[in-house]
Every structure is written in structure tokens, then in C-alpha cells.
Amino acid sequence: MARKPIIAGNWKMHKTRQQAADLANALAAQVGTYEAVEVVLCPPYTALETVGAAIRGTRIALGAQNCHWADSGAYTGEIAPPMLVDVGCKYVIIGHSERRQYFAETDETINKKAQAAYRHGLIPIICVGETLEERQSGRTEDVITTQIKGCLSGLPSDKVAQSVIAYEPVWAIGTGQTATKEQAQEVHALIRKLVAEMFSPEVAEQIRIQYGGSVKPQNIRELMAQPDIDGALVGGASLEADSFASIVRYE
Ligand code: 13P
């Protein structure tokens, strides 16, 4: 069965509730009934409920940008997976490079968060990606291999098959410098091969792999034309309705 494309907007630390409602309402009007692509909005925690209300009754899904690995407990400032389910999330981004860089997330904690997401029926969008220095020193394959193995090891294969991986080269995030379609496809093919080896060829066929890093209406089409690119995780260009809607309607 063909993989359904999935395009998610990661709003990062942007949008008050009013701004979030305006954007989500505009997107509900523009792509709320669009069927060719699964659309996910990932606002900050404070706007999850607001965005959830704005997209209710549409085909757009709600996602969070992070979660904790415990179900509850003394973790001041953290949010647990059942709370995300309670507010209507279907997806949760895990291990974004900004979380790895500024909040010391590791492959090990990402693995625990993925397990926690599965326990509560959330679908994780697990992020991997090399830095510029790692790419320039020829270590991209090693870095991605280590990240994929660390993030996915021991996870149940039926859940992995339903999950989403986002390949986001750190040097392409927010820089305007997109990976070329060839660079992206090469790493996506590597990720799919690793998943086939760790789990099975069937799991690798099913899992969806998004590209992220300066995705724009101008480059989405050529990226999506690559055989192993199944979607996009969009930052800056998801903050404005017209640009995100035209990314969603790339065909
Ligand atoms: P930009 O689209 O702003 O480069 O951000 C990509 C990203 O980090 C999405 O998670």
C-alpha cells in the first residue's frame, strides 16, 4: 500500500492563543477537507486546546512538540503523554534538534519518550539529523545510523511501522539552505534501510519519513518527488496560512 504523505507544521515557540486560532481557522478553511495529504499542526502547548477547537470536524490533526517519558510525577515544567491525549493530540514530535541542542535530549531519552507515546496511543514524529560540521567531515551516515539505532532500538515493530521519522539536517533548519533533493533522498534511503535491518522490510515500507529544513512552497514539489520522502516537517513556512497551505497542496 502506498504511504500517505504527511505534512506537519512545527510552530516552535510562536503564536499566542489568538494568533494560533487565526492561523488554524485560516488553515481549516484552506486545507481542512484536503484528502491527498495528512496535515498536522503542532502549536506550543498553551495553544493546543485552541487549535484543537479550530480544527475540530476537519481532516487536520493535532500534534505537540515534545512530551515527558513518565505518565505523571514530580517533573516541574514538563507535560506527560496522557495530558496530550486529553487535549486531543494524535501526534507528538520527539527529539527535535533544538531539543537535543538546547535541552540535552539524547537518543536514550528520545527512545523512552517514544515508548511513552506508544503507551498512550500517540504517534511519535522522531527527529534525526546531522550538524554542518558532521556533514563536512563525512560523518553523516555514521551520525544518522547511531541516532536511528539509539532512538528505535527495542521499540515494538507494529508501532514503529505506524510512526513517523523526520530527517532534519541541522544546517538546513531556519537557514534558508534546504538540502538538495539528492542529499535528502540519500539519507531517507539510508533510514529506510536501517529500519528494514532493525525490524523488517515490511515495517520499512510502511514507516513514513519526513524531510525538514527550510521547506518552502518553492521546493516542496521536488522533495516530494523523491521515492523515500513521504512528507515534510515545516518550521518557518508553517507560520503563515498561505505558504503552509501551498506546501500542503504541492501536487
Ligand atoms: P524551518 O522550516 O524553519 O527550517 O524549520 C524546520 C524545522 O525545524 C521543523 O521542525
* Alpha carbon distance 207, 155 (integer Å): 13
pTM of the complete model: 0.98
Q: How far is the CA of 96 from the centre of ligand 1 (A)?
A: 10
Nearest alpha-carbon partner for 152 in 124, 130, 131, 129: 124
120 tagged catalytic: no
What is the average per-residue pLDDT within 205-213?
98
Per residue in 76-120, pLDDT (tens digit) is: 999 999 999 999 999 999 999 999 999 999 999 999 999 999 999
Residue 207 has pLDDT above 70, yes or no: yes
14 among known catalytic residues: no
**Between vectors from CA 209 to CA 19 and to CA 122, what angle results, nearest 5°?**
60
Say what the pLDDT of residue 52 is. 98
* Predicted pLDDT of residue 91: 99
**What SS3 class is residue 32?**
coil
Mean pLDDT of 222-243: 98
Of 209, 210, 218, 216, the C-alpha closest to 236 is 216
SS3 of residue 42 by DSSP: strand
The per-residue pLDDT for 1 is: 63
Whose cell is 512530551? That residue is 67
Q: What value, to the nearest 5°, has the Cα angle with vertex 4 and ends 82 and 168?
A: 70
* Ligand 1 lined by 213 (C-beta under 6 Å): yes
- CA proximity to 34, closest of 66, 59, 4: 59
Average pLDDT of span 179-191: 97
pLDDT bucket at 248, cuts 50 / 70 / 90: very high
- When pLDDT is averaged across residues 185-204 and rounded to a whole number, the result is 98
CA 176, CA 125: separation in Å to the nearest integer? 22
Which residue, 77, 60, 58, is CA-closest to 68? Answer: 77
Q: Is 174 in the pocket of ligand 1 (CB under 6 A)?
A: yes
Rounded mean pLDDT, 52-73: 98
List pLDDT tens digits, range 121-151.
Answer: 999 999 999 999 999 999 999 999 999 999 9
Residues 6+ apart with CB under 8 A from 44: 11, 12, 13, 14, 15, 20, 65
Percent of the chain having pLDDT more than 70? 100
Mean pLDDT of the chain: 97
Question: Tell me: the pLDDT tens digits for 217-230?
Answer: 999 999 999 999 99
The count of other CB atoms within 10 Å of the CB of residue 105 is 19
39 C-alpha vs ligand 1 centroid, how far in Å? 16
Q: Which CATH superfamily is domain 6-11+18-248 in?
A: Aldolase class I (3.20.20.70)
Tally of CB atoms within 10 A around 144: 21
pLDDT in tens, 1-20: 689 999 999 999 999 999 99
